[in-house]
Amino acid sequence: MEGEGGKPAAVVAVVTEPRFAQRYREYLEEEKLLHGQHRVQRMPDGTVALPVLGAGLPERHLRELSGRVAPGSTCRLARLLDPVPSKRAQGCSPAQRLCLQVSRWVASQGVTWSAALEADLPRSWQRHGDLLVLSEDCFKAEQWRNLEPELWATVASALGVRRLAKRGRVSPDGARTPAVTLLLGDDGWVEHVDNGVRYTLDVTRCMFSFGNITEKLRVASLPCAGQVLVDLYAGIGYFTLPFLVHAAAAFVHACEWNPHAVVALRRNLELNGVLDRCQIHFGDNRKLKLSNIADRVNLGLIPSSEEGWPIACQVLRKDAGGILHIHQNVESSPGKVLQPPGSSEMEEEHWPYPQQIITNHRGNGATRDSRRKGLSVATKPEWRRWAESAETRIAALLQQVHGEAWKTQILHIQLVKSYAPHVDHIVLDLECRPGPLVG
């Protein structure tokens, strides 16, 4: 099994003299305590270490080993920081390893292993360095309650991590607070590095979406030198940081109302050395006092950022306008469309290049036929209809906010990920400039 950085996770072992090692092994195997995924190892002082399951060995077993099993033997516990995998372990998948180790440990606790317990083991999880977040549909059986908290040390050891948490459903509190319970470990703080940008967060308080990597890569490549941005839903800095670190934005106003995300955002700005180019606005962005300041506005909220559209129009520069990056979940009919691999919510492999979907769409005032000519055949009609509807509504908002008509133009529609069956997370790049409509 592997821990962070590809190194095997430390395991607990019983250490004794070589002449007693076989007797120890037979006892541990009989009691189903021997850790079958690691080899028995010779220690530097000549003693022998036999890996055991769980976070340790109860005192009664230690007394039994040094007394009845091998009288006169030295019996102590030690941590193997670099355990050697057994031949059997090298051929096991993580799920098989988990099943084997948990079933053996459960049996050692006097609980009968059953098909129902095996079916209740996790089949998917998210790894955050040395912390692993289990899916919500596992360890539901009542039998597990009597095995906590020692159970979690066995699970962590089997999966090669030091900390363990379990996911619940995202809270419908507007801040998308994750219902994640820490099962093993002192805290939920983890760190990820995407495209050279460092993100740290507490997974029990904030969400981290692996699926947004394509959009983070895309915004990092946008020409933002000298520009001021407003990020209306900054979170921990998913897009704020790429805009500052790679796209060379001059300044970002980052809005966020989740206090836990704000703590992580400030830490991430410091970690990446860009704190002096960002102002955090804590609270409801609909009450934001900024206006006439932004060259770009990022609206990275799903399923819809519509409540932020009036403020987005308000903060755009009155003299030159700017570009809105509007995120939206759009329902669509079944059908094939090119999808970047690794872009679903649960996947951890990242597609390295963003996918271009639509560019150079004719703007507000163009005919419907000329609009359709500018749309890529790779897009879905539902995306086109939503983009055209959003453009019309934004144009009306711009006139309402600024007291005069503005020109709008759909520049680009970006597929971020498949959010759910027949639901696509897309981003509309909408150019908004002061001036009369064309035609």
Q: For residue range 78-101, what is the model confidence (pLDDT) as tens digits?
A: 988 878 877 776 667 889 889 988
For the segment 369-420, what is each residue's pLDDT rounded down to a tens digit? 334 433 444 578 999 999 999 999 999 999 999 999 999 999 999 999 988 8
For the segment 99-123, what is each residue's pLDDT rounded down to a tens digit? 988 998 998 888 888 989 999 999 8
Q: Is the dihedral of CA 175, 180, 181, 182 positive or negative?
A: negative
User: Cis bond leading into 303, ω under 30°?
Assistant: yes
Measured from the Cβ of residue 218, the count of other Cβ atoms closer than 10 Å reads: 22
Q: What is the pLDDT of residue 424?
A: 94
| 345 pLDDT above the threshold of 70 | no
Please give the backbone phi and psi of residue 167, each rounded to the nearest 5 degrees, phi first: -85, 140
**C-alpha to C-alpha distance for 11 and 89, rounded to whole angstroms:** 14
What would the DSSP string read from start to end of 242-259? HHHHTS-BSEEEEEE--H
Most confident range, picked from 21-30, 153-162, 273-282: 273-282
Q: Give the tokens for residue 289.
A: 């006092």
User: Cis bond leading into 149, ω under 30°?
Assistant: yes
**Residue 375 to residues 252, 367, 371, 418, Cα–Cα distance (Å):** 31, 13, 7, 20
Q: Give the tokens for residue 385.
A: 């209809």
Q: What is the pLDDT of residue 363?
A: 52
Higher pLDDT, 78 or 363: 78
**C-alpha to C-alpha distance for 67 and 88, rounded to whole angstroms:** 31
Q: What is the pLDDT of residue 432?
A: 98
Higher pLDDT, 273 or 44: 273
**C-alpha to C-alpha distance for 184 and 403, rounded to whole angstroms:** 57
Q: With H, G, I as helix, E, B as strand and everything else as coil, classify residue 391.
A: helix
Do 411 and 431 contact (CB within 8 A), yes or no?
yes
| 251 pLDDT above the threshold of 90 | yes
For the segment 413-435, what is each residue's pLDDT rounded down to a tens digit? 999 998 889 999 999 999 999 98
Q: Which stretch of 144-148, 164-168, 174-178, 183-187 has the lowest confidence by average pLDDT?
A: 174-178
- On average, the pLDDT of the chain sits at 85
Q: What percent of the chain has pLDDT over 70?
A: 84
The residue-averaged pLDDT of 237-241 equals 97
Please report which confidence band the pLDDT of residue 358 belongs to, taking 50, 70 and 90 as the band edges.
very low
Measured from the Cβ of residue 60, the count of other Cβ atoms closer than 10 Å reads: 8
